[in-house]
A and B are shown apart, each in its own frame.
Chain A
Amino acid sequence: MTDAAQFKYVGTRPVRPDGVDKVTGRAAFGADFTLPGMLHGLILRSPHAHARIKSVDLSAALEIDGVFAAISSADFPEVTDSGDMGGEGGGSIKDLSDNCMARGKALYHGHAVAAVAATSLAKARQALAAIKVDYEALAPVMDLDAALAGDAPLLNEEMMTQGLAEPATKPSNIASRMVMGRGDVAKGFEEADVVLEETYRTPTVHQGYIEPHACLATVNEGGQSTIWCCTQGAFEVRSYSAAVCGMSIGSIRVIPSEIGGGFGGKTTVYLEPVALMLSKTAGRPVKMTMSREEVFRATGPASAARSTIKIGAKRDGTITAMSARIHYEAGAYPGGPVPMGCMSVFSAYNVPNLAMEGFDVLVNKPKVAAYRAPGAPQAMFASECIITELAKALAIDPIELRLKNAADEGDAAPYGPTWGPIGLKACLEAAKAHPNYQTALQEGQGRGLAVGFWFNIGFQSSAEVHVNEDGTVTVIEGNPDIGGSRASMAIMAAEELGIPYENIRVQIADTENAGYTMVTGGSRTTFATGMAVVEAARDVIGQAKARVAKLWQVDADMVEWRDGQALPKPGMNVEQEPMSFAEIAAKTAPSGPLLGKASLNARGAGPGFSVNFCDVEVDRRTGKVDVLKFTAIQDAGRAIHPGYVEGQLQGGAVQGIGWALNEEYVYDADGVQQNAGFLDYRVPVASDLPMIDTVIIEVPNDAHPYGVRGVGETPIVAPLAATANAVAEATGVRIRTLPLSPPNVLAALDAA
């Protein structure tokens, strides 16, 4: 591992390569594409949260002038593949298909039931109104308690719970159960001087990306199709759309637009297969964009969860055992983030006796999608609240209690592997030493702290480095740039090649111009695709050195690469002037263009820990919580572009604050969401917040050439408990159900 001080570009803050286009309105996002002859597609959505679809009659819609296609699930192949989708969200291909277009049953209010394509939006709306659907309304199941009740209506009458100790004998709404653990928790609790057990709840929340889903699809007469869309993963859109539409992967080209936020919610498909099928039927290109209301009603919320946590400790603070029983709402189809929740809930502590049990439970809400560290915020809200409650019970400082039990290099992680170098203790020490942690609090204020964690992932990525004849470079990769990743790729390429950052352009290519690259998700882009960019740059250097050696008529190992130049290796007795990258690039004709490439399956993603603490003030008359100060500390491994790493810490902190204080889906008795808009689903706005102070810890990940861990997801995990712990300190009342919205806080204060 190279020392940070030796880097020329890594750790600097240049302007991102795509920046000018994004501040001038030039950058093309999902809804910004048009084609000649394009039709407008719209979706008819279920007015019931739970209903049998007895019939869909499209005939009247098709009679309207200007309507070119009207389709329902009968127009899609019946997908039987129960295989896993892969990627960061969960679920099977069959369920993905049924989620795109309801088959047999509508399972949530807003579930797609039919779709039309017409020459104008007005005509498409007219066509939707002409479609006749005969529903048999069924009782909806809207939360965990209702879903788990003995006489609960069943979403899927054939679903038997997987993973029970004894095989299930009758269907239920529990899709699966998983258990993990180690040691003997019963013995561990017996050894404890203090044992606490509490239940914590988090609501259904939405990723809340500002850009609604949008796509434009065209299928030609030969069956070749192209999709422009805003997605976190063009290759996933391709394979999912192929599966849902019964097309071959090779017949579909997906061109990712700029993406206006995703946070996991754009790792799956909703519109794309529908637009493809409409285009195939109509013989014209079809554009579809969701309204904000559709985004709320029919796309990936994050699971609501209920976590019961038990913790036992000695008087000195040594934790002897922890157990967790976590129920996640999956929404309409299986695939809640149960494994990640069970694996992350106790990740921060080195405790001998652990038991984790998780359940994936169906309810009549949209099928959940990944949301930034899926599963961890819910689970660690519970574990990071109870450890603060334990600190209070033991009269030990919350940082000291965490430090005493903190996981460290060489300890076994709760989910199996042995921790490599991790930055948890460094983050805790940084919090302890931070000036914000020393300031005095006023009456009515409280300070809360919590730890966050995410695994981070690697997996498959590709990259190419093309050298232009003037010595400039184009980097080709396949990860949509959701937060400045072009800058990090260009920085790493500049560092490797030794050429100026400004001489590098980074192109996010489509599925036919980039090698296969997994989704922008799992905090993997700068780690895995970054690794591919570095390897491709090294490939170029190897080729450049070989060519210079040929020109100089020496062996390749007599040439070295330094500061963007080929030089004779010292002591090799080669009398040559250094050759610059531009000079070499200009002389490629004899041997062909310089083109480096890499494709890899990145191993060794470095887990990321964080510590957040905040000061809040609670208005006892209204129940309103104000965040006065927030400090986010996180181990980034290495911050390639510190500005964008800080941005991840700050943005994640604020999403977490929103989850803690205000955000929740509100339903009526019929299962209709009552707040499907930004006016009533209240995400944090600028005037709600203070500056978000950040500290980047760098404990390098040895598996990456520059030590990158990945930073995107960990930041949202700690704010939930940090905020709740601060509210408990400020009020003296512990509230274990989110959100800590004014009515909920006021009710808790009144009850206390």
Chain B
Amino acid sequence: MAKTHVSTCINGQDAEFLCSPEQTLLEVLRDTLHLTGTKEGCATGDCGACSVLLDGTLVCACLMLAAEAEGHDVTTIEGIASGNDLHPLQQKFLDHAALQCGVCTPGFIVASKALLDEDPDPDEESIRYWLAGNLCRCTGYDKIVRAVQDAAAELRS
């Protein structure tokens, strides 16, 4: 079957790619565009490891067809830092030891950014419910929640 030509903007840069109709955005990000920071943990939308922002809205890249990205802005983990400056979320994840193996971390940081873009001062319960779509098997979430709280405080100041 003929491939589809897709024009998007990824992490602030215009990006074009060809994809098969059945290919997911996750497959194209990882295999075609080599943006491997976005992870596959389940490919069924249950783990959040492939979290990306589509025009600022949090989506699972595994649940979206690549062709659907046409004309949209996509932000992946590779686009969260500004040049050499880590985003406060990235720095706070490091400071709080909020990652162990690190494979869920890109998804958590992208999902947390979507939360803080929408609600700069979320309480613990809001953070826990917002991040309920992101699975972490290592940390028990405690330090992740604290890192997000701390990053929110820094972004507000």
* A210–B140 CB distance below 8 A: no
* Contact B143–A210 (Cβ < 8 Å): no
Q: Are A261 and B80 in contact (CB under 8 A)?
A: no
Q: Given the complex of chains A and B, what is the CA–CA distance between A27 and B81 in angstroms?
A: 15
**How far is B131's CA from A751's CA once the two chains are assembled, in angstroms?**
37
Q: Mark A637-666, 1 if CB is under 8 A from B, else 0.
A: 000010110111011111100000000000
Partner of A686 from B90, B102, B131 at Cβ < 8 Å: B131
Identify whether the interface residues of B are mostly helix, strand, loop, or mixed.
loop
Q: Beyond A25-B35, A212-B40, is A651–B138 a contact (Cβ under 8 Å)?
A: yes
Q: Is the CB of A654 within 8 A of B141?
A: yes
Q: Are B41 and A212 in contact (CB under 8 A)?
A: yes
Set of chain B residues within 8 Å of A15, measured between Cβ atoms: 94-95
Within 8 A of A (CB), among B14-42: 20, 30, 35-42
B103 to chain A: which residues have CB within 8 Å? 29, 209-211, 258-261
Q: Check if B102 sits within 8 Å of A27, measured CB to CB.
A: yes
**Assembly CA distance A28 to B103 (angstroms):** 9
Determine if A4 is an interface residue (Cβ-Cβ < 8 Å): no
Chain A residues whose CB sits within 8 angstroms of the CB of B101 once the complex forms? 209-211, 258-262, 482-483
Across the interface, do B46 and A650 meet the contact criterion of CB distance under 8 Å? no
Candidate in B20, B95, B141, B144 with the most chain A CB atoms within 10 angstroms: B141
Greatest chain A CB density within 10 A among B76, B91, B139 is at B139
The reply on B152 being an interface residue by CB < 8 A is no
- Whether the pair B78, A25 counts as a contact (CB closer than 8 A) is yes
Bound-complex Cα distance A13 to B20 (A): 47
Q: Which of B44, B95, B97, B132 contacts A678 (CB 8 A)?
A: B44
Looking at the assembled complex, report how far the CB atom of A119 sits from the nearest CB atom of chain B, in whole angstroms: 13
Residue B65 interfacial (CB < 8 Å): no
Specify which chain B residues have a CB less than 8 angstroms from the CB of A646 in the assembled complex. 97, 142-143
* B90 and A24 contacting across the interface, CB-CB below 8 Å: yes
Q: Which of the residues A20, A27, A482, A687 comes within 8 Å of B86, measured between beta carbons?
A: A20
Q: Is A679 interfacial (CB 8 A cutoff)? A: yes
CA distance A24 to B100 in the complex (A): 15
Q: Which single member of A19, A25, A32, A655 contacts B137 (CB below 8 Å)? A: A655
A484 within 8 A of B: yes
A686 CA / B101 CA spacing, docked (Å): 17
Nearest-neighbour CB distance to chain B for A372, whole angstroms, equals 11
Please encode chain A, from 1 to 37, with 1 for each CB lying within 8 Å of some chain B CB and 0 for all others. Answer: 0000000000001011011101111111101100000
In the bound assembly, the distance between CA atoms of A373 and B30 in angstroms comes to 35
| Cβ of A359 under 8 Å from chain B | no
Among B2-10, B66-74, B104-112, the one that faces the other chain is: B104-112
A190 to chain B, nearest CB (A): 45
Contact A650 B102, beta carbon cutoff 8 Å: no
Min CB–CB distance A747 → chain B (angstroms): 27
B140 to chain A, nearest CB (A): 4
- Say whether, besides A484-B100, A651-B137, A23 and B144 are in contact (CB < 8 Å): no
> Quick one: which of B43, B124, B125, B134 contacts A291, CB cutoff 8 A?
B43
Q: CB-CB < 8 A to A29: which residues of B?
A: 36, 39, 103
Contact A678 B46 (CB under 8 A): yes
A210 touches B78 (CB 8 A): no
Q: Which of the residues B39, B128, B142 comes within 8 Å of A260, measured between beta carbons?
A: B39
Residues of A within 8 A of B47 (CB): 210, 292, 678
Q: How far is the CB of B48 from chain A (nearest CB, A)?
A: 9
Bound Cα distance from A344 to B125, whole angstroms:
38
A178 within 8 A of B: no
Which of these, B94, B104, B142, B144, contacts A210 with CB under 8 Å? B104
The smallest beta-carbon distance between A388 and chain B, in angstroms, is 23
A126 to chain B, nearest CB (A): 14
| Contact present for B94 and A647 (CB under 8 Å) | no
Give complex CA distance A12, B137 in Å.
25
Contact of B132 among A653, A677, A685 (CB under 8 A): A685
**Which B-chain residue is minimally distant from A632 (CB atoms)?**
B140
Q: Within 8 Å of chain A (Cβ to Cβ): is B64?
A: no
In the complex, the chain B residue whose C-beta lies closest to that of A31 is: B40
Asked if residues A24 and B86 are in contact (CB atoms below 8 Å), the reply is: yes
A210 touches B137 (CB 8 A): yes
Cβ of A480 to closest chain B Cβ, rounded Å: 9
Closest to A654 in B: B140
A149: chain B residues at CB < 8 Å are none
Interface presence of B135 (CB below 8 A): yes
A644–B96 CA distance with the chains assembled, in angstroms: 9
Q: Which residue of the partner chain, among A263, A644, A686, contacts B141 with CB atoms under 8 Å?
A: A686
Considering only residues 253-282 of chain A, those with a C-beta below 8 Å from chain B are 258-263
Tell me if B58 counts as interface (CB < 8 A to partner A): no
Q: Are B142 and A26 in contact (CB under 8 A)?
A: no
CA of A646 to CA of B146, assembled, Å: 13
CB contacts (< 8 Å) of A209 on chain B: these are 101, 103, 137
Contact with B along A178-217 (1 / 0, CB 8 A): 0000000000000000000000000000011111100000
When chains A and B are docked, how far (Å) is the Cα of A697 from the Cα of B139?
A: 19
Q: A211-B41, A683-B137, A685-B135 are known contacts. Are A647 and B80 too (CB-CB below 8 A)?
A: no
CB distance from B101 to the nearest CB of A (A): 5
Asked if B99 lies at the interface with its beta carbon under 8 angstroms from chain A, I say yes
Return the chain B residue nearest A483 by Cβ: B100
Contact residue among A16, A291, A679 (Cβ-Cβ distance under 8 Å from B97): A16
Residues of chain B contacted by A25 (CB below 8 angstroms): 35-38, 76-78, 106
A586: interface (CB < 8 Å): no
Say yes or no: B39 contacts A211, CB within 8 Å. yes
- Using Cβ atoms and an 8 Å threshold, which residues of chain B touch A32? 30, 36
* Docked CA distance A428–B12 (Å): 55
Bound-complex Cα distance A650 to B42 (A): 24
A393 cross-chain contacts in B, Cβ below 8 A: none
Question: Contact partner of A653 among B46, B127, B140, CB < 8 A?
Answer: B140
Minimal beta-carbon separation of B129 from chain A (angstroms): 5
Indicate if A395 sits at the interface (CB-CB under 8 A). Answer: no
The verdict on B59 contacting chain A, using a C-beta distance below 8 Å, is no
**Could you name 9 residue pairs across A and B whose Cβ atoms are closer than 8 Å?**
A22-B102, A31-B39, A32-B30, A210-B137, A260-B101, A261-B101, A261-B137, A291-B43, A686-B127
Interface residues of B (CB under 8 A from A): 20, 30, 35-44, 46-47, 49, 76-78, 80-81, 86, 90-91, 93-97, 99-106, 109, 124-125, 127-129, 131-146
The 5 closest A-B pairs by CB, nearest first: A25-B37, A260-B103, A643-B97, A22-B102, A654-B140
Known: A261-B101, A654-B140, A655-B140; 15 extra A-B contacts, CB below 8 A, are A16-B97, A20-B94, A25-B106, A29-B39, A31-B40, A210-B137, A211-B39, A260-B102, A263-B137, A483-B138, A646-B142, A650-B141, A653-B140, A678-B135, A689-B128
